[in-house]
Amino acid sequence: MTASSREAAAVRRHGARQPGHPVLRFGALVVVAAVGFLTVGYLELVSRIEGQFDTRDNSSLVNEITPTSAATTEPGDASAGSALNILLMGSDDRSGENGVIGGTDAGGMRNDTTIVMHISADRTRVELVSIPRDLQVQVSDCTLFDGTKVKGWYGDFNIAFSNGGKQGDAAEAAACTINTVQDLTGIPIDHWAVVDFAGFESMVDAIGGIPMCITQDISSKKANLYIDAGPHLLNGQQALAYARLRTAESGGVSGSDLQRITRQQELLRQTMRTLMGKNLLTDTAEITQFVKAMAGSMTMDEQLGDLTYLEGLAWSLRGLSIDDVTFATVPWEYTSDFLNVVATDDAATMWQELRDDTPLTVDAKGDASSAWDTGHDNTTATPAATGASSSAAPSGSATDASSTAGESTDDLLAQCTVQ
């Protein structure tokens, strides 16, 4: 990559940075909520919430990798002095309530969303890198709790989660995915979290919905999503359908997972703006409801589910500004048949920068729609590129990229203008 192209990429990256504290679709919300523990009374919340988290120890199933730096203990943040990498996974498990929501036709467990969240050692940056589910990789072998060996092979990235989820255990699915990510990138995964359908709906409803600017009418029988163009406050069911949307009878939906990543990142960005505008950090009742919704819907490693650990981590991130959080996607290009994607040389640069704990200078390039679709994803308005590149940003009226904390839901909806 030339110096000029790196500089251009850096400019695009700055434009794609998002507001908020640790921002990720699932696990980072726990960190954001934990900041409130310091304000509203940590012990009171612990008494209400502790025990709600579903934590599992799958360390015996995860292959060891040498950390890039050694931790230096400081008061508060147990991982102070070390960069942290958290793997976030969205499961489409169809058992129980999830089957009612997503249907029961899918066998086993799969994940539609995988994000590597990198927190810098100096706690001044957070980078969230989406891994396309159709990225062609060497899926790692893995072992389940009962000793069963599952052989990996070359294919779609999300095969790893499916291999580990053969027995319906999210911790086993996470372990197999962690092994594949570590072997692929050389990045040690310190923590992990898996969220399911029902949990995502509950989290959205707990914050009163997510304001989104929908710039085209969307009609999708498969996703059960029918919504007119314009400003909408999406409830949990609508937000989940939008996040999972891949096919539609109308609405400029190409069927591409890359396009879906762009929509998911915009949904996440709006979620963070909504959280920043709410009084979650000073309202004991509301933060308790929010954290309970997350805790009851997530499976995570034991340390990430420890409220004392989260308190220290959140406190160490209190100085983050709106320019300190970045979304990116693994640099990719289509395979010759246009059915899948493979990583480009820039992906190796991205992994090296994460290992070295330096700011990202590369991102995915090109159109986030399918190669066989000549249009662009213009179902939502976005202020800047949140996925592949600035050229992949959905068309429509842009919202204010310089938004700050304190925006109300009405403020966010008022920014939507459909052309």
273-288 mean pLDDT? 65
Answer yes or no: is pLDDT of 149 > 80: yes
pLDDT confidence tier of residue 47, bands split at 50, 70 and 90: low
pLDDT of residue 206: 84
362-370 mean pLDDT? 68
Q: 299 and 194 in contact (C-beta within 8 Å)?
A: yes
Q: For the chain, what is the mean pLDDT?
A: 74
Answer yes or no: is pLDDT of 156 > 80: yes
115-119, 189-193, 295-299: range with lowest mean pLDDT:
295-299
Q: Enumerate residues 6+ apart whose C-beta is below 8 A from 23.
A: 32, 126, 128, 268, 269, 272, 325
Q: For residues 61 and 253, which has the higher predicted lDDT (pLDDT)?
A: 61
pLDDT of residue 419: 66
Cα dist from 295 to 49, 374, 375, whole Å? 8, 42, 40
d(CA 374, CA 88): 32
Q: ∠ at Cα 113 (415, 362), nearest 5°?
A: 75
pLDDT of residue 205: 87
Burial 400-411 (b: 16+ CB within 10 A, else e): eeebeeebebee
pLDDT of residue 251: 73
49-58, 92-101, 152-161: range with lowest mean pLDDT:
92-101
d(CA 252, CA 370): 11
d(CA 356, CA 242): 35
pLDDT of residue 351: 98
Q: 3-state DSSP call for residue 132?
A: coil
d(CA 148, CA 214): 46
d(CA 117, CA 191): 10
Q: Enumerate residues 6+ apart whose C-beta is below 8 A from 336.
A: none
Question: Hey, what are 198's tokens?
Answer: 């029902």
16-25, 74-83, 275-284, 405-414: range with lowest mean pLDDT:
16-25
pLDDT confidence tier of residue 74, bands split at 50, 70 and 90: very low
pLDDT of residue 406: 61
pLDDT of residue 359: 97
* From the candidate CATH numbers 3.40.50.1820, 1.20.1050.90, 2.60.120.260, 3.30.420.590, the one assigned to the domain spanning 3-208+279-406: 3.30.420.590
pLDDT confidence tier of residue 107, bands split at 50, 70 and 90: low
54-63 mean pLDDT? 87
d(CA 168, CA 120): 33
Q: How many CB atoms lie within 10 A of CB 82?
A: 21
146-151 mean pLDDT? 96
Residue 278, class by beta-carbon neighbours within 10 Å (0-12 exposed, 13-18 middle, 19+ buried)?
buried
Cα dist from 108 to 58, 91, 345, whole Å? 19, 10, 33
Answer yes or no: is pLDDT of 332 > 80: yes
9-24 mean pLDDT? 36
Cα atoms in the Cβ-side hemisphere of radius 13 Å centred on 195 = 25
The beta strand positions in 126-244, using DSSP E, are 126-130, 136-138, 142-143, 149-150, 154-156, 191-195, 210-214, 218-220, 225-227, 230-234
Q: Please state the domain extents for the chain.
A: 3-208+279-406
Q: Enumerate residues 6+ apart whose C-beta is below 8 A from 381.
A: 213, 215, 394, 395, 396, 397, 398, 399, 416, 417
- Between the ranges 66-80, 83-97, 234-248, 268-282, where is the mean pLDDT highest? 234-248
Positive/negative CA dihedral, 236, 162, 341, 18: positive
Q: For residues 128 and 381, which has the higher predicted lDDT (pLDDT)?
A: 128
pLDDT of residue 302: 92
d(CA 295, CA 305): 8
Q: For residues 191 and 258, which has the higher predicted lDDT (pLDDT)?
A: 191
d(CA 172, CA 163): 9
DSSP helix, strand, coil percent of the chain (3-state; round to 5): 35, 20, 45
The secondary element (H helix, E strand) that includes residue 410 is helix 409-414
Q: 90 and 113 in contact (C-beta within 8 Å)?
A: yes
pLDDT of residue 65: 81
pLDDT of residue 22: 30
Q: For residues 1 and 247, which has the higher predicted lDDT (pLDDT)?
A: 247
Answer yes or no: is pLDDT of 407 > 90: no
Answer yes or no: is pLDDT of 38 > 60: no
Nearest Cα to 199, choosing from 26, 24, 28, 21?
26
d(CA 40, CA 64): 38
Percent of the chain at pLDDT > 70 equals 67
Q: Enumerate residues 6+ apart whose C-beta is below 8 A from 358.
A: none
Q: Enumerate residues 6+ apart whose C-beta is below 8 A from 304.
A: 27, 30, 55, 86, 191, 192, 193, 310
d(CA 314, CA 268): 19
117-139 mean pLDDT? 94
Answer yes or no: is pLDDT of 79 > 80: yes
pLDDT of residue 75: 39
174-183, 253-262, 349-358: range with lowest mean pLDDT:
253-262
Positive/negative CA dihedral, 277, 322, 87, 12: positive
| Residue carrying the six token digits 């959905």 | 394
Q: For residues 109 and 164, which has the higher predicted lDDT (pLDDT)?
A: 164
